[in-house]
């Protein structure tokens, strides 16, 4: 029984590090959302045109509003994830944005369909070949 108490005490001590996994995940997602939002912000007109054009774009309704919502969600989401403020609240619009992106763009064309390979810091030959 003494062994069980020691094991329980050891497991109780690991609870002090419970914050590390969510912190690592948040810090992993920050540059992804920051780059996506920044690219949409700097090329807002092109983004809105791509969102609205049914021939070579996504054909979404209200493209300016959709581009604004996606841009602001990604930029605000990156900042809030970085500082750990309102993470649960910003996760909801980020999930909606990612679901729209997944089904409207990436489902048919692959995840790297619109990625700018010049910004990939850790890319190797396998990534460029994908």
Instruction: For residue 119, name the pLDDT band (cuts at 50, 70, 90).
Output: low
Q: What is the mean pLDDT of the chain?
A: 86
Cβ neighbours of residue 100 closer than 8 Å, sequence gap 6 or more: 70
% of residues, the chain, pLDDT over 90:
56
Domain span at residue 98 reads: 23-129
% of residues, the chain, pLDDT over 70:
82
- For range 88-94, the mean pLDDT: 96
Q: Is residue 57 part of a domain?
A: yes
Q: Is residue 6 part of a domain?
A: no
pTM value surpassing 0.85: no
Q: Is residue 15 part of a domain?
A: no
Q: Is residue 102 part of a domain?
A: yes
pLDDT, tens only, 13-37:
888 888 999 999 999 999 999 999 9
Return the ∠ at Cα 9 (arms to 7 and 12), rounded to 5°: 110
Q: Is residue 2 part of a domain?
A: no
Tally of structural domains, the chain: 1
Q: Is residue 28 part of a domain?
A: yes
């Amino acid at each position: 029984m003494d062994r069980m108490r020691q094991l329980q005490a050891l497991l109780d001590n690991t609870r002090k590090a419970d914050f590390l996994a969510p912190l690592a995940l948040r810090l992993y997602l920050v540059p992804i959302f920051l780059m996506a939002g920044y690219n949409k912000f700097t090329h807002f007109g092109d983004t809105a045109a791509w969102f609205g054009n049914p021939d070579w774009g996504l054909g979404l309704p209200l493209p300016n509003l959709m581009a604004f919502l996606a841009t602001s969600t990604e930029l605000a989401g990156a900042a809030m994830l970085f500082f750990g403020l309102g993470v649960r609240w910003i996760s909801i619009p980020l999930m909606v944005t990612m679901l729209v992106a997944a089904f409207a763009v990436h489902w048919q064309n692959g995840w790297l369909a619109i990625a700018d390979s010049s910004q990939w810091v850790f890319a190797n030959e396998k990534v460029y070949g994908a």
